[in-house]
């Protein structure tokens, strides 16, 4: 967690790539975020954990420019930013891969990789440069060690892990990408498919220096590839640890203790 000691100085040693100071958000009478303080290091993978309704989705939408915070400040690369749209956040290097992946099943692998950013020839009304997109897609997938034997295959023919890999690859191949947010990237995957995405996340962070925030409910997965885990509960960060300095048991014990505390205080109903 971060403090609120003032704006960071550009060029500062150890400067986080992303820092959130006292972020608040209300929807009508409901306070969804209650002063969230969060930081993300360069090349760091941060796991974000929380029950449904804890504020995870709202926080992600604020970081990506989909909605605006009511209060607080966002610093990206040492400079305060106020994103008014998803496109503006993207222009500053923030990309998101949601759980639905936003792939078109009937399009080929390489067409999905260039979706909405297609290469053309012959000016504004030119034809798609399929040969070039195919070549660049193969080169990029090979560079990030994603094994897709046939990039002409339609996306619907791929496994769940391969489709997720294409969605991550599409987001990460954009020039200047700094922060990548992943929403449940391993949902409903078997061990073999999950290992593909785990390896890809590790490679993106370590070899390319892309910082990531991963929203997931599976503690085992998070401890495999995250450098740090933060817990958000009732709109605030309540627990923050480096994975090397904690354990799944400690995180589970904390979540159970917090649930019991909230039941006793009447904030949540006890599940029978």
What is the domain-level CATH number for residue 43? 3.40.50.300
Q: Is the per-residue pLDDT at 1 higher than 80?
A: no
Q: Which domain holds residue 261?
A: 18-104+177-265
- Better pLDDT: 99 or 249: 249
**Cα dihedral angle (106, 183, 68, 170), rounded to 10 degrees?**
-50
Classify residue 60: in a domain, yes or no.
Answer: yes
Q: What is the mean pLDDT of the chain?
A: 88
Q: Does residue 34 fall inside a structural domain?
A: yes
- Supply the pLDDT for residue 14: 59
Residue 44 domain flag = yes
Quick check: is 158 in a domain?
no
Residue 237 lies in a domain: yes
**Does the residue 271 lie in any domain?**
no
Residue 10 has pLDDT above 50, yes or no: no
User: For 111-115, 144-148, 239-243, which range has the lowest pLDDT when averaged over its residues?
Assistant: 144-148
Residues 19-72 pLDDT 10s: 999 999 999 999 999 999 999 999 999 999 998 888 999 999 999 999 999 999
86 inside domain: yes
**Number of domains comprising the chain:** 1
How distant, in Å, are the alpha carbons of 94, 223, 256 from that of 252?
31, 12, 6
| Mean local confidence (pLDDT), 117-125 | 79
SS3 content of the chain, % helix, strand, coil (to 5): 35, 25, 40
Is 119 part of any domain?
A: no
**Residue 141 to residue 134: CA distance in whole angstroms:** 11
Point out the least confidently predicted range of 51-55, 87-91, 98-102. Answer: 98-102
Q: What is the CA 181 to chain-centroid distance, rounded?
A: 1
pLDDT value of residue 196: 87
Beta bridge partners of 25: 33
**pLDDT at residue 267, as a whole number:** 62
Query: In 3D, which of 146, 143, 137, 135 has the Cα closest to residue 207?
Result: 143
């Amino acid at each position: 967690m971060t403090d609120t000691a003032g704006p960071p100085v550009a060029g500062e040693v150890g400067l986080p790539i992303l820092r959130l100071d006292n972020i608040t958000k209300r929807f009508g009478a409901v306070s969804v975020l209650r002063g969230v303080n969060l930081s993300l290091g360069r090349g760091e993978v941060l796991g974000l954990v929380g029950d449904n309704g804890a504020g995870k989705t709202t926080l992600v939408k604020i970081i990506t420019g989909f909605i605006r915070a009511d209060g607080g400040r966002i610093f990206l690369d040492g400079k305060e930013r106020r994103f008014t749209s998803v496109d503006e956040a993207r222009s500053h290097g923030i990309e998101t891969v949601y759980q639905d992946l936003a792939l078109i099943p009937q399009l080929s692998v390489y067409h999905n990789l260039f979706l909405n950013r297609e290469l053309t020839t012959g000016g504004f009304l030119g034809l798609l440069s399929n040969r070039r997109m195919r070549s660049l897609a193969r080169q990029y997938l090979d560079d990030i060690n994603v094994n897709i034997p046939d990039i002409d295959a339609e996306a619907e023919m791929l496994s769940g892990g391969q489709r997720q890999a294409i969605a991550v690859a599409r987001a990460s191949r954009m020039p200047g990408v700094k922060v990548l947010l992943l929403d449940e990237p391993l949902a409903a995957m078997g061990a073999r498919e999950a290992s593909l995405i785990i390896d890809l996340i590790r490679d993106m962070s370590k070899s390319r220096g892309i910082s990531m925030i991963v929203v997931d409910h599976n503690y085992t997965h998070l401890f495999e590839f995250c450098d740090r885990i933060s817990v958000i509960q009732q709109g605030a960060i309540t627990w923050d640890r480096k994975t090397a300095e904690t354990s799944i048991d400690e995180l589970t014990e904390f979540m159970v203790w917090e649930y019991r505390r909230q039941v006793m205080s009447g904030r949540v109903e006890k599940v029978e």
